[in-house]
């Protein structure tokens, strides 16, 4: 049986990649709800840039590129801004898809930044 430290399936689940995929999945769920009307993330103005940033960050993270945290962090900033804009409008609610995208992009960004901090610390110490 493979251990998490040897690159087994558990270490792949603990990395940022599943969270980036979760953020992309949130694009296909309602982002904005107003009564019976829902708007999906992929239909919104920021939907395609979030898709591009998350997909780009996913590919960079899989390739272990040092700067993979940048598109993930930009995606997180954009979706958090979207939550604040939606919450400012009376009678309009934040949909589950937007929360999924916020969660996935923020967690992926934190994990990618932690990976880079670890990489720099290991390079200094070893």
Q: What is the pLDDT of residues 39-59, one digit of tens each?
A: 877 777 788 899 999 999 999
CA 39-41-42 angle, to 5 degrees, is 110
Q: Where are the beta strands (DSSP E) in 35-86?
A: 37-40
Number of structural domains found in the chain: 1
Kindly state whether residue 6 falls inside one of the protein's structural domains: no
CA gap 22, 44 in Å, rounded: 18
- pLDDT, tens digit (0-9, with 9 covering 90-100), for 52-105: 999 999 999 999 898 999 999 999 999 999 999 888 888 888 889 999 999 999
Domain interval for residue 73: 18-125
Residue 75 lies in a domain: yes
Task: Count other C-beta atoms under 10 Å from residue 71's C-beta.
Answer: 26
Where is 1: in which H helix or E strand? none
Reported pTM: 0.83
- Domain membership flag for residue 9: no
104 and 20 Cβ atoms separated by less than 8 Å: yes
């Amino acid at each position: 049986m493979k251990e998490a430290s040897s690159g087994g399936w558990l270490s792949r689940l603990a990395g940022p990649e599943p969270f980036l995929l979760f953020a992309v999945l949130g694009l296909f769920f309602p982002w904005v709800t107003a009564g019976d009307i829902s708007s999906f993330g992929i239909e919104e103005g920021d939907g395609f840039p979030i898709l591009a940033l998350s997909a780009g960050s996913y590919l960079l993270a899989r390739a272990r590129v040092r700067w993979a945290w940048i598109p993930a962090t930009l995606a997180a900033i954009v979706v958090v801004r979207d939550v604040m804009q939606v919450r400012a409008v009376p009678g309009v609610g934040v949909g589950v898809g937007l929360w999924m995208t916020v969660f996935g992009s923020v967690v992926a960004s934190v994990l990618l930044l932690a990976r880079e901090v670890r990489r720099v610390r290991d390079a200094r110490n070893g």
